[in-house]
Every structure is written in structure tokens, then in C-alpha cells.
Structure 1
């Protein structure tokens, strides 16, 4: 987009009816897509607020003074729920049985897809889904252009019979002043339809036909189900509710800490005129407090009210952190809750096990979407269809790094044990992948290996030639 898309609490009310040049059946699908986008927008904006730590205090009207109700307080737990899972889903390119991918991995690099995938995964976890589109590149573009959109700027209709989207739309550009869309792309089985608003505020459609037989748009969904094919948000109702309680607890803790810092004191029997020139706060913080006897010779009584304990607030925050950890699978230590005793290595791994299992499930569902994207990229770059691709290309699979993110020492030890049991595994590129080497590092290592082998072979030939000459003499 030329202008950054900023969602507001008020939905943007636009409905492009009777787009010039748009076929009636496509207009019907477009109207339905706009309605889906509008209905879901408010909830998607709300979840984005929680992730961006911009959710406001929801006061119960009991324990928080009115002056503090507008206090700004940020809580990073919803962002933790998203980021700690997305960082464990690390896409590392496509692999094929014959190591021939029609240049798909090169096209991904040209589109900086490693970064684009992380962005799409983050949006997927926030809103439940995100969308990736592919199209033929123009002059100065890669052979295939890959773009990503979140649920605030895209929508799709699901085809239950074919188990894929029937059509979809993306908001490509918005007006920087009115914040209304000015360009929208519609994706159908036969075309990408570019719809733009002209200077007369009239929408016009332009068809760019293709031969793939499916929309050039693929959803990435988190935890899909039969009743929710576009998945569920990681920022769930439970996550938002616990975050609200945690923010209230934090504000109440601030209020309590003020009273804890300056416990309330009192003086009984003192002349009020002694404090006429100074405020009560100045009297409290003064270095010397001198109070004389009254006219009867009696001394005033000094006292201090008992301080309110901070412990109940801290205990409740710990309880909320435990609930949040149970809801999201995030280790409670990652939420800022400190344990009295340091955890063992086994306990640390056990605390992360739920998150690792969640990441494996995320990789599985995202892997299906990525494979479809890879096939589309291969078909478009080869100016053919998916059905006409070679069999080895059709068997391409996405490769992910280990979501457990093991240490180099533990991973090396595991590989050594596996190679001992399966010796030929040492000659496989998979062993290098499991050791954590990146694709570029593996390429360099294999290149250095070939150079070394060539050098040794040349030395052997030279040594053999010298030995034969000596024998003839």
C-alpha cells in the first residue's frame, strides 16, 4: 500500500456497488467478500490492539481512584502469546526428490520470503489467518511477485466441497486522508481483477486472466476446524480477559505502592494552626517536626496507621500469570514471574514442551499452504499449469527448522548417535540441516567438500603418474 493502513474503532463504511467492467457473478462474490471483511474488522482491530499493547484499562469502578482511570499501562502478555510461537516456525525453503524446483527457492529469495513468512505468521496468529498472493511480475519485478496480507486488509470465501477458498479480495491501496480503500484486487479461479477508484469516485475493473484453475491466493490458518475453516486467533477471549485482569491488578498495585511508600500518620490534640503554612505532605517529609504542648500542658498523641501489604497483589498477579501460561502454553517464567528455586534443565524443557508441540502443529498446517504457494510459483514462472508440472516438482515439500531450537551441543550429540547407528546418514544433506546449518552455509560446505575431493583426486593422479615413471626407469 502507498499509505499505511490504520484501523479505527469505527468501521470504514464503503461498499463499491456496480463496479464498471465487473461481471455480475464476480460482483456478487465481491459484495459478499466486502460484507465478510466489514463484519470481522472490528474484532480483528480489537485483537491487534491487544497485541500492540494499546488496549485500555477496563475499570470495575471499585478500587481504582478516578484520577488513575486514564492512566496508561501496557502489558506485553498477548504479544508474548503470538511472538513466542511465531519465532519457532522457521521456514527454510523447498526440497524436491530430484533437487529441481524450477527456480522456486530463487524466486522466494528475490521476494525476501523468509521475512515475509514471519510477518504473515505473526498476523496469522493475531487474527487466526493471513493471506499470501502470487502474480506474474512485470518489468523490474521478480518473475513471480509474492505478497502477504492480514485479515484487516483481506477476506476470502471458503469452498467446503473443494476444501479451499472459492474467491478472495485484498485491499491494495488506501487514501491517506479518508483512509478509504482506493484499489482492491479480486481473486477468482480464472483471473486477478484489479479494481480502482478513479477521480470521479467511480470503481473500474480490469481483468488479468490466468490458467491455474484456482485463485492465486492462499490462506495461512491457525488451528482450523470444521466449523472455523479460517482458524482461531492466538489472542483468544481468554487471553484478552486475563490481560484485562492483569492490567487492573497492575494499576491497583500502583495505588497500593503509593500508600505503602507513605503510610498514613495522625496527630491528636495538636493545634491546627501549626500546619497553616505547610501542607500535610510537607509536614510528612520534613526533617524536623516540632509540636508544642497545648494550653493545658498536654502533649499531642502521634500515631501511624498500619501499612497495606503489597503481597496480595503480587500473589494475584502470579495467579493470573499461571492462568495465562496454561491458556497459551508459554512458560510462566517468560511472563516475568520469578520462582524461588532455579529450574533444572529437564524442567525448563518440560515447560516449553506444550509450545514446541503447538509449533509443530503450526508448521504442519502452514506447510500445506506453503506447498500450494510453491506449486503456483513454479507454474507461473514456467508459464504452465500446476497439473503440467514435472512429477518431481509436484512432490516439493517445505522445509522447517527444528521448532525446539536445540543447542549446538545437544544437537551434535544426537546426530553423532544417529550416525553411529546409520553410517550412511553422515553423507546426507539432512545431517547438516539437523545440525542447524542454514541453506547458504550448507551450499558453501558442499562446495568446499567438492573442492577438497577434487584436490585430493588430482594429488592422487599426480602421485600415480610419478610412480609409473619411476617403475619404467
Structure 2
């Protein structure tokens, strides 16, 4: 494995759930659930580590087909682009409940920093194929929503194949260093989400756990899975963006760049060959290879009574074939992931038109739109469960008005500020009222503070105009006139 010294890494974290099924106070039902879920977690550990290494650029190729005395430090950032290019096109903007208790929803969103946390966890959803959100009741009585990557949760699909709903799940709620963990962060609190129960496991010593059940009124576990590119019953929890095909192309790209580096070294330094040397001459040449190769004059004596030594030079290979090979690999990678070629570092010979650039991004934008539609449904489930906790009812008992949660996402087709501004101006030409609205300000890049300041100035100007209009007609505002009149 190749390291990346410029990448910050968190302190070593060890996920060891050994002994959890024998926790003190555990029930037989909880033991069966946690044993099954711990095995499920372990079955994905190796694959998750593999795709994470590709994402971090910490993979090497075992067989390059050539040997050379050149440091082998080639890496490839394409898998990271496959994840981040799509994550950048999915952005949750706001959450609302048009006919319900917006104040309660705003409280949930603010306390849990929900919009920001969802957006920050998108890369790990695409990296591992899924992420999860857990909804629990905090000590203060308010709903707590926490997002988890595949490194900190595992679950079993719903028995009736409902998207985003699980039969049962296990989520690591807390990791910390302990006196007995040897300086590594280990799970100290793990929550078991099953129907009508959110059990809590606490690790109080190495492999020593204590269990405490937490009965709930919810018949469905309050752990909800967001999946990428799920395939019904075949892959209900989605698939990673770093597929086997992507990994194969990445290996080929690393190998191609290594060949290019070796070819460049061969091309930049002339390769000499000598025949007809005596043993003494051969030993002298081998001891001073670089000196003979780089010096302007190479003088050798005759080899015995025969003809003198012969010196020749091998011609270097052009790196162009490897450049063409890398471009071909990038085209295959772009076709498999939808990432535009320019995002992979492949510069086109001729500048692309705006239409061509938009067409190149269309595939990845369509994938983003499918993910957005799936995540909207899961976000509704998450927020309905949170609203039920705030109202002290179950999800089924929740007022239909409070259940009508809506998630607003930015358009993945309007990826850049220039594209959003152009679209906003075109809409404003056919809808005059749109130009001064809050959506217009958002599309042209104004933040909340700027939008609020503009609205305040507009209201102040309207008030001044209204007073001026009243004065011009000679009508006294209500409450005006002599204060002592009528006494």
C-alpha cells in the first residue's frame, strides 16, 4: 500500500464487537439480533476497507510488467472523483412542512444541524453505497438525528422490501479512548434498533458489555438507510460508486502511468551498449555506468588481438502511446461513472462549447436526480419519526399536516453559479415578480443575510412610499391629529 503523507488521518479506531452477544443483562431476543448484525457488519469490513483505500489513493499494482530502478510512487485520484463529482451535485437546501408545525421542524433541523450533516455524509454514502440516519429521544426530550456511514452501522433489509426501512439495525453511537483500549478509539455505546425497542450496549471493559433495553411504541425500527443505486431486492442497500470495473480501470491507469514514467526515464537518457570488451574493461564500465553514459567522450582499448570494442546507442521510445492509452482508459472510466473527462485531468484538443459541456455532465446529473428522489422519501421517514418524538406520539398517530414534510434540493443540472444565474435571469424575463423573490436571490448566489437585508430595505422603502402617498392626498394616518381633540 502506498501512503499519502499530506492527508490528515484520525487517531486509530478499532471496531471490535467481540463479547457483545454475552452482554450483562441481555435478553434472548436481543442476543439473537445482535449476533446476526455483528456477523453482518464483519462480512462487509474487508470490502469497505478496499473501496476506502481506492478512494484515498492508497492502492498499488502488484504486476507492472517491467522492472526499473525508479521509485514506484504512482497513485490515481479517479475513484475519489467518481464519488465527489456526484456528491457535489446533490445538495439539500431546506426542509419544510407547509401545512404543519414548521416551528417544531425548524427546531429539529437546527438542533441536529440536519441539512449540513446530510450534505457532509453524502460522500460516504456514495463510497460505501449507503448511509443511515438514526432517530432517538434525547435526555432533554427532543429528537436526536444522527447520520452514520457503513463504518459505524449495519442493518438487515426490511422483510417486505420497503426501501429505506430495515428489519433491525446496529449503530455505533459513541467511540472513545479508554484506559483499557491501548490509546485507540473503541466503541463504548452501541444502539440496537429493532421493532418497539432501542437497546443500548455499553462496553465497560475490553470485551465486557452491559445491555439496557429501551422500549418504544414504534413498530418499525427508527434506523433508516439512504442507498445509492439500489436495485430492488437484489441490492436494497445500494452499491458503491467504486465498483469492480472502476477499480480495474484505476489499476490499469496506475500501470499506464508507471510505464510512462519508465519510458520517460529511458527517453531522457541515452542507452549505450558495448560489445567486444575485455574482462577488465567490462568490470570498469559496470562500476562507472553513469559516468561513461553521461561523459562526452568514451575511450576503450582493443579487445586482445581482435577488433576493438564496439559502442552503439539504443533509441528511446516516445511517451505518446502511453498518453493515448491513458486517454482511452479515462474515456472508459467516464462512460462507467458519468464523470466528465476534464474532471479526470484529460484536456480536450479543442475547447468545448457550452452545449457540449452540458451534454458531458448530463449522465451524472441524471444519476444525481435519481438519488435525490430516493433520498427525499427517506428524509420524510426520518423527519416524521423525529416529529413524532417532538409531539410525543407514534408515526402512525402523527397529524397528517405534520407528516407532510418536504425536502428541497438544489438542481444538479445548475451545477455552477453561472448556470444558476443564467437560468434565474431567463425565468425573470417571463415572470416579473420572480426577480425580487427569495428563490431568485438563492439562485444568483445571495446568502441568507444578504437576502434578509434586501427584504428589510424593500419593506422600509415601501413604508416610506406609502407615507408619501398618504401625505400627497392630504389623508391623515390613523391615530394622527391633535392629541387633545375630543377630550
Q: TM-score, with normalisation over the residues of structure 2?
A: 0.83
Corresponding residue of 2:3: none
Partner of 1:223, secondary structure, is: coil
- How far has the Cα of 1:303 moved from its partner? 2.2
Corresponding residue of 1:40: 44
* Structure-2 change in CA distance of 1:20 and 1:208 (3 Å): same
Distance in 1 (alpha carbons) for counterparts of 2:12 and 2:104:
33
Greater displacement, 83-92 / 407-416: 407-416
CA contact (8 A) 2:83 2:241 kept: yes
- How far has the Cα of 1:207 moved from its partner? 2.7
Gaps of 5+ in 2: 1-9, 481-487
User: Is it true that 1:24 corresponds to 2:28 in the alignment?
Assistant: yes
2:217 corresponds to which of 200, 211, 216: 211
Corresponding residue of 2:363: 354
Listed one character per residue, the Cα deviations across residues 167-203 of structure 1 (whole Å, up to 9, x for unaligned) are: 2111232664376544311112323211012237432
Q: CA RMSD in A?
A: 3.2
CA contact (8 A) 2:253 2:326 kept: yes
User: Is it true that 1:234 corresponds to 2:238 in the alignment?
Assistant: no
Corresponding residue of 2:6: none
Distance in 2 (alpha carbons) for counterparts of 1:266 and 1:358:
56
Where does 1:25-424 land on structure 2 (aligned, <5 Å)?
25-59=29-63, 62-65=65-68, 71-98=72-99, 100-138=101-139, 143-161=142-160, 163=162, 164-171=165-172, 172-173=174-175, 176-177=181-182, 181-199=187-205, 201-226=207-232, 227-268=234-275, 273=281, 276=284, 279-290=288-299, 301-408=310-417, 410-423=419-432
Greater displacement, 208-217 / 183-192: 208-217
Listed one character per residue, the Cα deviations across residues 132-183 of structure 1 (whole Å, up to 9, x for unaligned) are: 12223336xx943322211122101111326111221112326643765443
Listed one character per residue, the Cα deviations across residues 319-351 of structure 1 (whole Å, up to 9, x for unaligned) are: 111111110001112111122212122111111
* Structure-2 change in CA distance of 1:444 and 1:193 (3 Å): farther
Partner of 1:204, secondary structure, is: strand
Greater displacement, 448-457 / 245-254: 448-457
- How far has the Cα of 1:118 moved from its partner? 2.6
How many aligned residue pairs are there? 459
Greater displacement, 301-310 / 323-332: 301-310
* Structure-2 change in CA distance of 1:155 and 1:98 (3 Å): same
- How far has the Cα of 1:383 moved from its partner? 3.1
Gaps of 5+ in 1: none
Distance in 1 (alpha carbons) for counterparts of 2:474 and 2:194:
68
Listed one character per residue, the Cα deviations across residues 276-334 of structure 1 (whole Å, up to 9, x for unaligned) are: 38601012222554557789898754421121222222221111111111100011121
Corresponding residue of 2:467: 458
Distance in 2 (alpha carbons) for counterparts of 1:447 and 1:388:
40
Distance in 2 (alpha carbons) for counterparts of 1:297 and 1:159:
87
* Structure-2 change in CA distance of 1:251 and 1:12 (3 Å): farther
Distance in 1 (alpha carbons) for counterparts of 2:368 and 2:206:
49
Distance in 1 (alpha carbons) for counterparts of 2:58 and 2:259:
19
Distance in 2 (alpha carbons) for counterparts of 1:200 and 1:351:
53
Partner of 1:103, secondary structure, is: helix
Partner of 2:411, secondary structure, is: coil
- How far has the Cα of 1:81 moved from its partner? 0.2
CA contact (8 A) 1:14 1:180 kept: no
Distance in 1 (alpha carbons) for counterparts of 2:264 and 2:98:
64
* Structure-2 change in CA distance of 1:254 and 1:380 (3 Å): same
